[in-house]
Structure formats: C-alpha cells, structure tokens
Amino acid sequence: MSLKRLPPNIWILSICQALSMTASPLLIFVGGLLGRELAPSPEWATLPLSGFILGTACSSIPAALTMKRLGRKRGSYVGFGFALLGAALGTTAAMLGSFWLYFVAATVMGVNMAFAAQFRFAAYESLRDPSDYPVALSVLMLGGLVAAFLGPELGLAGKDMLNAPFGYAGSFLLQGVVVVLSMSLFALFKEPIVTETTSKETPRSLSAIAVNPLFSVAVGASAIGYGLMSLVMTATPLNMHEICGIDLTSTKQVIQGHIASMFLPSLVGGLLMKRFGIGPMLLAGTALFGGMMLISLRGQELVHFWGALIALGVGWNFLFMGGTALLPQVYRESERFKVQAVNDFIVFGAQGLGSVGAAWFLFGFGWNTLIWTCMPGVIVAAAGSIWLMRKERRRVAAG
C-alpha cells in the first residue's frame, strides 16, 4: 500500500501521537535532574518518573472504557485534558520547588499517555483494509522518533525561561503549548464508523478470549518486549556511570542511540510484516533480545553497552509492533475496547515493574544477574513466535 493512500486519520494520529509522546522523553531528561533538586533524599529522585509509568499502567483500563463510552474523538480530548493539567502542575511544582506536587504532575502526565496509547487502535479502526495495519502502524511508531528528540529539546529550551528556584518550569510550560497544538490538529480527526454487521456481534467473556493462544502471543510479545526493555534501559545509565565509571556524555549518547533504534526500524517494520508475516517479525525481535544478552554478558565496556542497547531497541520495536498488529485478530469488533484495555494494562504494567525494579535489582544482584533474568522472557517469546510462524504457514498452505 502506498503511503499516499493512507487515510487522513492515520497522518493526524501520527502527528498528534508524536506531540503527545514528548512528555515521556521530557520527563526522562528532566525527571532525575529536577527530582534530585526537589527530593527530600537522593534515593527518591526518580520517584516522579516511576509515578509517570505507573500512572500510564493504572489508567490503561479507564482510558479504554472512556473511549468506549465517548468515542475515539471525545475520549481523546479527555486525555488531552489530563496532559494540560499535568503540564500546569509541573510548571507550578517547579516554580514552588515542591517535590510532591512534581510527583503528582508526573503521574497525571502518565494518565494522558494511557489515552495516547489508544491512538494505535484508532488507526486500525480508520483503515478500509485491515491488512494495511502494519504499514499504518509503522507511520504511527515513527512519531516516537520525533518525540524522542523533541522532548529533551523542550526540557533544555525551557530550563531558564521562568524564574524558578531550580529551573525547568518553562519546560513544562512549553509541553503545555505542544499539547494545545496537538489538540488543535486533532479537531480534524474523523470518528471511525463501525458497521452494523460487526456492531451486532455478541461479545464473549474475557476468559473465553484469553484461552485463544493468539491472545497470549499478542499480549505476551508486547509485554515481554516492554518489560525487559524497561528493565535493561533503566539500569544501563546507572551501571555505566555509577558502577563502571563511564562519563556522562558517553552514557547519554548510548541512551540516545537506544531510543533512535527503538523507532527507526518502523520505517521498514510494516513492510517486513506484510512481506514475511508477524511470526517471523516476532522471532527476529526475540533473537535480537538474545543478542542483547550475549553482548551484555561479554563485558561492560562502552562498546558492549552500545551493541546491547541498539539490539535491545530494535528487538523491542519488532516485538511491540508485531504484538500490536496481531491483537486485532484476537477480538471481534464488539469486544475491542475490553481486550485493548486488558492488553495495555498488562503491557504498561510490565513496563512499570521493569522500571521500578531496575535499580533495586542492579545494586542488589549485579549487572550480569539482571541480564540473565531476561532469559525466561526470551524463551517464552521465542516459543510463541515459532508457534505463530507455524500457524501462519499452515494458513498460507490451506489457501
């Protein structure tokens, strides 16, 4: 499918998602710096970032239910409301020098991310041909690359914009401006139409849906990808700088390279899925996670961190894109919101656990043990990928 023939909704969702997702890299960049200045003790410096991630996970089910009740367009504006509130609270917290208000602001911004995550499902519903979803998903995922570089730029540009005790109040103010731009563009989004035939399907219970192996593979791929990526990514800067003594500039460059590797493969990911299938895509992602483990266990020099984090980023992209593209095959139209809600709760919950537990695991058990902990997830993901590949081949052979 030509990119020019994608429905306008896909491009609107892609740009709005890119703007909405700037909150995440902004907090990753600003979070520890401002948190260290405001926190009552250094150990609490990253608590606001953890609040952001857990806010996303805990809001995933309410966000999906809000979409079901209000529709994609009005429901998304509820998310934009949380984004504006979070930016306002962040600006106020930085101006007042209040750590706990900063924690609340980050958590509220995380709530908005649960609504923004629903954009990928709105994209599927906006397509005339479901087989075009991998290409549309690639366009959406590329928005993450824009956000990855725009977010830190907002943090740097707004650092000294306002007269705040420790700076960065202007960073959150600029984030609010970005939210307003996204809201304005989203006015062009057209609510997807559900046909009468699909809307009258009798919904099944979640337990009946969950026994379908496709459900386990789709949700498991995304959750394993997000959980392991979050665990290793969060621990890497601490291990590089605090334990291995690698300078901050090199540490920053490795993380930037990792973020780029998370989203750049989206340029070809959709086409690869249409050409080879979702199963091979998931298996390639699993293999890259295995490669990350091998490189990490070979040593802890700068070159090892570069290789491991690049493999981790590309592997996450393949697993998350593959799991997301597979999920619509699991549910009927009448079941979409509850399945999407459970999927996002599990996926972002895994991300939250990985992020929160990274420092504890690293300092308690060491880098190599942390890497070996990824092995069960890699084995499970590989087994699911191989099962799906065989299923896809049987379907092709049957015509």
Q: Are residues 272 and 160 in the same domain?
A: no
Question: Domain boundary residue among 158, 190, 222?
Answer: 190
- How many of the other CB atoms lie within 10 Å of CB of 115? 26
Lowest mean pLDDT of 11-20, 60-69, 230-239, name the range. Answer: 230-239
Q: Are residues 186 and 257 in the same domain?
A: no
Stretch 351-364: mean pLDDT: 81
Q: Are residues 182 and 293 in the same domain?
A: no
- 271: its two tokens: 């086409």
- How many of the other CB atoms lie within 10 Å of CB of 3? 12
Q: Are residues 212 and 114 in the same domain?
A: no
List, in order, residues 6 or more apart from 325 with CB less than 8 Å away: 133, 134, 137, 273, 278
| Domain-embedded: residue 195 | no
Q: Are 142 and 21 in contact (CB under 8 A)?
A: no
Average pLDDT over all residues of the chain: 87
Q: DSSP readout, 192-225?
A: PPPPHHHHTSPPPPHHHHHTSHHHHHHHHHHHHH
| Domain-embedded: residue 258 | yes
Range of the domain at 373: 206-399
φ/ψ of residue 303, rounded to 5 = -65, -35
Spatial separation of the C-alpha atoms in residues 388 and 325, rounded to whole Å:
13
Lowest mean pLDDT of 56-60, 215-219, 284-288, 373-377, name the range. Answer: 56-60
Q: How many domains does the chain have?
A: 2
pLDDT of residue 209 exceeding 80: yes
Stretch 31-42: mean pLDDT: 76
Q: Are residues 177 and 212 in the same domain?
A: no
pLDDT tens for each residue of 102-138: 999 999 999 999 999 889 888 888 888 777 788 888 8
| Domain-embedded: residue 197 | no
Q: Are residues 164 and 236 in the same domain?
A: no
Gyration radius from the chain CA atoms: 21
| Domain-embedded: residue 198 | no
Q: Are 51 and 102 in contact (CB under 8 A)?
A: no
- 5: its two tokens: 């023939």
Question: Domain boundary residue among 190, 219, 245?
Answer: 190
- 71: its two tokens: 């529709």
Stretch 135-164: mean pLDDT: 83
Range 67-98 burial, b when 16+ CB lie within 10 A, else e: beeeebeebbebbbbbbbbbbbbbbbbbbeee
Q: Are 79 and 63 in contact (CB under 8 A)?
A: yes
The one-character DSSP state at 329 is G
CATH code of the domain covering residue 295: 1.20.1250.20
Would you state the pLDDT for residue 3?
Answer: 64
| Domain-embedded: residue 92 | yes
Instruction: Name the residue among 255, 285, 293, 286 with its Cα closest to residue 369.
Output: 293
Q: Are residues 340 and 275 in the same domain?
A: yes
Stretch 303-332: mean pLDDT: 92
Would you state the pLDDT for residue 32?
Answer: 66
Spatial separation of the C-alpha atoms in residues 46 and 164, rounded to whole Å:
20
Would you state the pLDDT for residue 332?
Answer: 84
Spatial separation of the C-alpha atoms in residues 138 and 126, rounded to whole Å:
15
Indicate left, alpha or beta for 245 from its phi (over 0: left) and psi (-120 to 50: alpha): left
CA angle 314, 265, 223 (to 5 degrees): 50
Q: Are residues 77 and 211 in the same domain?
A: no
Question: Domain boundary residue among 141, 157, 190?
Answer: 190
Q: Which residue has the tokens 């009448």?
A: 334
Would you state the pLDDT for residue 196?
Answer: 41
- Global pTM reads 0.79
Q: Which residue has the tokens 């959150």?
A: 172
Q: Are 351 and 299 in contact (CB under 8 A)?
A: no
| Domain-embedded: residue 115 | yes
| Domain-embedded: residue 196 | no
Q: Which residue has the tokens 């998602």?
A: 17
Is the pLDDT higher at 40 or at 5? 40
Q: Are residues 300 and 396 in the same domain?
A: yes
Q: Are residues 156 and 210 in the same domain?
A: no
| Domain-embedded: residue 355 | yes
Would you state the pLDDT for residue 197?
Answer: 45
pLDDT of residue 205 exceeding 90: no
Q: Are residues 174 and 256 in the same domain?
A: no
Q: Are residues 53 and 120 in the same domain?
A: yes
List, in order, residues 6 or more apart from 191 with CB less than 8 Å away: 71, 72, 73
Stretch 309-327: mean pLDDT: 93
pLDDT of residue 28 exceeding 80: no
pLDDT of residue 199 exceeding 70: no
Indicate left, alpha or beta for 97 from its phi (over 0: left) and psi (-120 to 50: alpha): left
Helix (H) / strand (E) element for 205: namely: none
